[in-house]
A and B are shown apart, each in its own frame.
Chain A
Amino acid sequence: MPAHGVTSDGAAVVINETNLGFLTQLAGWARFSEVADAALRAQSLSLSENFRVTVRRGMVTAWRIAPDRVLIRSDVKLSLESSDDLAVLDLSEARVCLTLEGAGAAGLLSRVIALDFSEAAFPVGTFAQTALHHVGVLVDRPGRDQFTILIPTTWTTSLIGLLTDHLARAA
């Protein structure tokens, strides 16, 4: 790492494994929206109503991944505690963060994930949970030619291999 390559149409891509920091999941039940929003506001964040839009405040990123679940990536451990209405789970060791950068990043993802990564369908500032080689991953687009992918730690070697092998074959 990092791995450099080009897609079959000649666009450059750099794949890198980066420091995830801390990843915290909040999950809940019927009162999730109210309780999670209060917990997030204490961290200067808020609960998004949108399941596609990434919420960023400084070094903290939040993704509303389901009606009663949110993932928070942060550079420091958040002071969140579980309660009767909120389950706080530290997933920092459960995911690895990859970045794909370059003019070919969207093209490479289009070849391995069944989603439309055009700017119109997947604008900057949005995310999606989807399958990469049948493995559940979260894809975030912080910049036009920049993607962040959270992958299960146990699949790191396989999925990096899949991406780099694809670039090698394209070259």
Chain B
Amino acid sequence: MLRIHCPVCGLRDETEFTYGGDATMRRPDMTESDPKAWVDYVFIRDNPRGPHKEYWHHVTGCRQWLIVKRDTLTHEISGSYLAREVADLADEVAA
């Protein structure tokens, strides 16, 4: 059983969350016309061993989307953040 720290609700059991997929994927620019870029984005995923960033949804808690840093080998969780805050930060850096 994973125990995930939600920045809003605190430490909770994995059963309160649903897994939302790889958080390292970036959607191609909407003007991208190469089908391969879209196929990769929609279907192709690595299966990394070690540190990884994942989306988790706190579905029976605050209903916020989180980005969780989890080691896929040991299940150790080294950090969790509100996805909205990470996105805001990325926007600021890009601006």
Query: Hey, which bits of chain A sit against chain B, CB under 8 A?
Result: 51-52, 65-67, 69, 114-115, 128-131, 134-137
Contacts and interface: CB of A to CB of B under 8 A. Distances in A.
A81 to B, nearest CB: 24
A130 B61 contact: yes
A65 to B, nearest CB: 6
B64 A130 contact: no
Contacts, number: 43
A131 B12 CA distance: 10
**What bracket does the count of chain B residues touching chain A fall in?**
10 to 19
Nearest to A66: B62
A166 B27 CA distance: 48
A66 B8 contact: yes
A128 B11 CA distance: 11
A134 B8 contact: no
A26 to B, nearest CB: 15
Contacts of B10: 52, 128
B15 A129 contact: no
- Chain A contact residues: over half helix, strand or loop, or mixed? strand
Nearest to A116: B11
15 contacts: A51-B8, A51-B62, A52-B10, A65-B62, A66-B62, A67-B82, A114-B12, A114-B15, A114-B16, A129-B61, A130-B16, A134-B15, A136-B60, A136-B61, A137-B60
Contacts of A131: 15-16, 60-61
Contact of A130 (B8, B60, B63, B84): B60
